[in-house]
Amino acid sequence: MTQDRRNDGPSKVGTGKVGQVKDVTSLANPIIKDIKALSLKKHRDETGTFMAEGLKLVIDALDLGWTIRTLVYAKNVKGKPAVEQAALKTVSRGGLVLEVSEKVLSAITRRDNPQMVVGIFDQQYRRLSDIRPARDETYVALDRVRDPGNLGTVIRTSDAAGASGVILVGDTTDPFAMETVRATMGSVFAMPVSRATPEEFIAWKKQAKAKVVATHLAGAVDYRTIEYKGAPVVLLMGNEQSGLPDELAREADALARIPQAGRADSLNLGIATGIMLFEARRHLLTLDAR
């Protein structure tokens, strides 16, 4: 994955003697303060890093080649083979390993019952200009998505459906916020994420030769009747409150609706995207896909 617009300057998170395991018990430790500050978007942007919680997520990220700055684990899991392996990989890649108390982990994760392993990783974005959609590839483009839970669900669902990437259009919530990363259940490491202004997205769409299917209240086409085969597809989903703006809706090759029978006037963005995704990829999905 190619990184885009990230801060390449030195980060205080993950500094220290390479190969050294630090035993940390104090919340006043400067490294712990820096890690805690990753709950703030400003600090994530300044350092170009983010936090992922859980041993499985950390192992998946390491296996997929993400750059780890700091590995933090609780004293009570020291010596477990999987934790030791993650620590060795961290050290071999120039990262710092911290052994901390559960109190420190609770402060870092802002949870009463924290995960016993936490990783601090470099952010990664795929440049939109590098995406050249191929036949039967599916991308999800989200216009001004604001809810971290929705974005995390969409990233996770895109991964499950076999999509090739998620494109964030306009002013969106941070895909590397703690709430978003939690909601992805690790798929943030497997699903390439790109970002673009509306103008950049429209320009990319014109040269990408992809079929853009947008959900819209004015849509007259049943989403199940659209032909998704034979071409790359971009599913364009609107903002949770205001829907898709006219400037983006005009770029769609089809404006689709999901039929509803109840009194609800709309679907949750994560649910609507999941419905669209699995329909768009239905002809490619089999029970033995894995």
In the chain, what percentage of residues exceed pLDDT 90?
Answer: 79
The residue behind tokens 């430790």 is 29
Buried b (16+ CB within 10 A) or exposed e, 188-199: bbebbbbbbebe
Per the CATH hierarchy, to which homologous superfamily does domain 21-122 belong? Ribosomal protein L30/S12 (3.30.1330.30)
CA dihedral angle for residue 231, residue 232, residue 238, residue 239, rounded to 10 degrees: 170
Regarding predicted confidence, which is higher, 51 or 27? 51
Tokens standing for residue 248: 């983006």
**CB neighbours (10 Å) of residue 282?**
12
CATH 3.40.1280.10 for the 128-284 domain, yes or no: yes
Q: Which backbone phi and psi does 268 adopt, to 5 degrees?
A: -55, 140
Give the helix ranges, DSSP H, for 15-144.
Answer: 30-36, 41-47, 55-63, 81-92, 102-109
Contacts of 239 by beta carbon, 8 Å cutoff, 6+ apart: 143, 144, 145, 146
Amino acid at 284: L
pTM of the entire predicted model: 0.89
pLDDT in tens, 248-288: 999 999 999 998 888 887 789 999 999 999 999 999 987 65
pLDDT at 1 over 50: no
Stretch(es) of the chain classified as CATH 3.40.1280.10: 128-284
Give the mean model confidence (pLDDT) for residues 64-79.
96
Average pLDDT over residues 72-81: 94
- CATH 3.30.1330.30 residue spans of the chain: 21-122
pLDDT number for residue 287: 67
Q: For 91, how many CA atoms within 13 A lie in the half-sphere containing its CB? A: 13
pLDDT tens-digit readout, 204-223: 999 999 999 999 877 789 99
